[in-house]
Structure 1
Amino acid sequence: MFPTTTSVPQAIKEILSSNNLYLQALLSGIANYTALAQKIKPDIEKITASKVNVGTIVVAIKRLVDNLQNDEGIQNNHTVTNAHPIIEGARMSLTGNIIDIDFNESKFDQLSYIFDQLLEREINYSYNLFQTDKQIRLLVDDDKEVRNIVATASKKFDGRIKGGLSKITITIPSILNEINNNTYYNFISSVSNMIYNSRIHVQDAFFTPNEIVLILDDKDAARAYELLRAKITK
């Protein structure tokens, strides 16, 4: 009698089926396949009882997502399930004309240079800063003086600078993270699902306990904002 083994696609399906947030982020197009593959790799290896390559996981995730996107019944079911994303006290804002600065892991010191320059020149611009173990992302207003500072700093780092972007910020009442229910997770799933069903391309997305930040091209931002505002703030 041979022992029963679980394949990588089966393990991925099992993991994603038990985590609606992962699934919705994938279906909405805001999840990074490689980052997700690295995150769930230990769980997959535990389920399959074998070492698994990240590239293999990425391919399997993509195939699963393609199958789900082609299954109209599943898409319709998600639409019904997440039809009520409204949360009392949620607020939204739309900020246009921003740049996204992506620092690589070896040049984090250049971020200090940029902040020092902004403070010395008393430039008062709003910004968002997101950090992981190997990456720092700075979202800041696109202004000539800011551009000059970034241009000077960019000579010393190999990061990526992208303009022509807008930012949608959804502020979520902190009480949602203090009570034991699924409202917060259902809300995130609903927002992701609305973006996906409307075929709006999201450049990037960041989630914190109190905020959802969506980065979009300027040409898509207004439509996305009106779509979400009609459902979230009414």
Structure 2
Amino acid sequence: MITIPQAVESVVKAQPFISEALFEGLINVSSLARKIKPDIDRILLKDAKHGAIVMALNRLSPQVDISLQRGINKMINMLGDIIVRSDLVDYTFKNSDTLIKCHSRVFESLSHHRDTFYTMVRGMNESNIVISGIYANLVDENFNEEELQVKTENLSAITLKLHESNTQVPGFYYYILKAVAWEGINIVEVISTTNEFTVLVNDEDVDRAFSVLKNLKKKK
């Protein structure tokens, strides 16, 4: 049988913004209890008392314990350079047997242009390509027989250089994405390698997104 504390924890954990604001003391617990009561009643299949929900909320433990928070703080303080690239184009193609050949031709054409932004990520059913706008014609020409699903222009990339130990810190990427989301900035794509983390945003959002990411270290 599911208890009220278990039901409260599951509801709160499903809403990260609410849970973090709760743990930071930014939310009135009694008001939150009234808001989530319908969800609690639905889980328990009965009417839960308001006071019991309030008590369960007060007893919730932080989702990220002190040791994990210290790890995130340490990684934020070790962030390297932040690099911004503008005038990017984002393509999404349906996967095919010839897609890699198209990519190889574009990659070969760009081999002598080290200042070019170019990435390709192959998923299960589709592949994503991001390229500097000045060379977008190479994709248009070499992928002209492929099935284009989405093409988005006027994008900018913000790349964070990470410390090599970043993969061993739970919650690190969430911390970065949360900071951007709290500012109401839409992330078009996320591109990641072992020691680099890139977010792709619309050109009109790049200044705000850069400011958010630049200021992460100042908050620690």
Match for residue 151 of structure 1 among 116, 140, 145:
140
Q: What's the offset of the Cα at 1:73?
A: 4.5
TM-score (norm 1): 0.58
The separation in 2 between residues aligned to 1:128 and 1:222, in whole angstroms, is 22
Aligned residue pairs: how many? 164
The separation in 2 between residues aligned to 1:79 and 1:226, in whole angstroms, is 23
Q: Give the 5 Å matches for 1:53-202.
A: 68=15, 73-77=18-22, 84=73, 86-106=76-96, 107-108=98-99, 109-119=101-111, 122-124=112-114, 125-143=116-134, 146-159=135-148, 160-177=150-167, 184-202=169-187
Q: Which amino acid aligns with 2:138?
A: I
The separation in 1 between residues aligned to 2:164 and 2:102, in whole angstroms, is 33
Task: Summarize the Cα distance change of 1:149–1:176 in structure 2 as closer, same or farther, 3 Å threshold.
Answer: closer
**Which gives a bigger RCO, structure 1 or 2 (Cα 8 Å, sep 6+)?**
1
Asked if the contact 1:90–1:233 (Cα under 8 Å) also holds between the matched residues in 2, the reply is no
Q: What's the offset of the Cα at 1:78?
A: 6.7
Q: What's the offset of the Cα at 1:219?
A: 0.3
Q: Which amino acid aligns with 1:113?
A: R
The separation in 2 between residues aligned to 1:138 and 1:170, in whole angstroms, is 19
Q: What's the offset of the Cα at 1:198?
A: 0.9
* Greater strand proportion: 2
* Alpha-carbon displacement from aligned partner over 1:53-94 (angstroms, at most 9, x marks no partner): xxxxxxxxxxx5xxx37xx74241476867957232433211
Asked if the contact 1:90–1:232 (Cα under 8 Å) also holds between the matched residues in 2, the reply is no
Task: Summarize the Cα distance change of 1:73–1:126 in structure 2 as closer, same or farther, 3 Å threshold.
Answer: closer
Q: What's the offset of the Cα at 1:185?
A: 2.6
The separation in 1 between residues aligned to 2:23 and 2:203, in whole angstroms, is 28
Q: What's the offset of the Cα at 1:211?
A: 2.1
Q: For structure 1, which segment, 73-82 or 207-216, has the greater mean C-alpha deviation from structure 2 after superposition?
A: 73-82
Q: Which amino acid aligns with 1:74?
A: S
Unaligned runs of 5+ in 2: 26-63
Q: For structure 1, which segment, 126-135 or 222-231, has the greater mean C-alpha deviation from structure 2 after superposition?
A: 126-135
The separation in 2 between residues aligned to 1:79 and 1:127, in whole angstroms, is 40
Task: Summarize the Cα distance change of 1:116–1:209 in structure 2 as closer, same or farther, 3 Å threshold.
Answer: closer
Unaligned runs of 5+ in 1: 18-63
Question: Which residue pairs with 2:49 in the alignment?
Answer: none
The separation in 1 between residues aligned to 2:175 and 2:136, in whole angstroms, is 36
TM-score (norm 2): 0.61
Root-mean-square deviation over aligned CA pairs: 3.3
* Alpha-carbon displacement from aligned partner over 1:72-129 (angstroms, at most 9, x marks no partner): 742414768679572324332111111112232114132122223334xx44423223
SS of residue paired to 2:142: helix
SS of residue paired to 1:185: coil
The separation in 2 between residues aligned to 1:105 and 1:78, in whole angstroms, is 44
Q: Which has the larger radius of gyration?
A: 2
Q: What's the offset of the Cα at 1:189?
A: 1.9
Percent of pairs with identical residues? 15
Asked if the contact 1:94–1:166 (Cα under 8 Å) also holds between the matched residues in 2, the reply is yes
Question: Which residue pairs with 2:50 in the alignment?
Answer: none
* Alpha-carbon displacement from aligned partner over 1:169-204 (angstroms, at most 9, x marks no partner): 112111334xxx5xx333212111111211111112
The separation in 2 between residues aligned to 1:79 and 1:139, in whole angstroms, is 38
The separation in 1 between residues aligned to 2:84 and 2:179, in whole angstroms, is 17
